Amino acid sequence: MGEVAFLILLLSAYILPVVIVLNSKRTQGHEKNGWLIGIIFFSWLALVMYFAIIPKHGHKKKKNKKK
């Protein structure tokens, strides 16, 4: 029974970064897909890089100026 609980804990720790990026509003589109691929292969290391590189408030929309 202890082995099963340990495996569930490990699986949860592996899936948690994916869930965090999927629910994040910092990125969108193909950029988010690229981060997800990185997190699948490098898990927590890529998540730390994600929080360090991506701006906290995400991308700002450009305003069109009318003359």
Q: Quick count: other Cβ atoms within 10 Å of Cβ 12?
A: 10
The reply to whether 30 falls in a domain is yes
The answer as to whether 23 is a domain residue is yes
The count of structural domains within the chain is: 1
> Domain range for residue 43?
8-53
pLDDT > 60? residue 40: yes
Beta carbons of 39 and 21 less than 8 angstroms apart: yes
**pLDDT greater at residue 11 or residue 58:** 11
Check: CB of residue 43 under 8 Å from CB of residue 14.
yes
Is 62 among the domain residues?
A: no
Domain assignment of residue 59, yes or no:
no
Residue 48 belongs to some domain of the structure: yes
Tokens of 27: 């990125």
Separation CA 18–CA 62 (nearest Å): 29
Is the confidence at residue 56, as pLDDT, over 90? no
Question: What is the chain's mean pLDDT, rounded?
Answer: 85
Structure confidence at residue 64 (pLDDT): 66
Instruction: Answer yes or no: are the C-beta atoms of 43 and 17 closer than 8 Å.
Output: yes
Instruction: Reply yes or no on whether the pLDDT at 65 is more than 70.
Output: no
58 pLDDT more than 70: no
Residue 60 has pLDDT above 90, yes or no: no
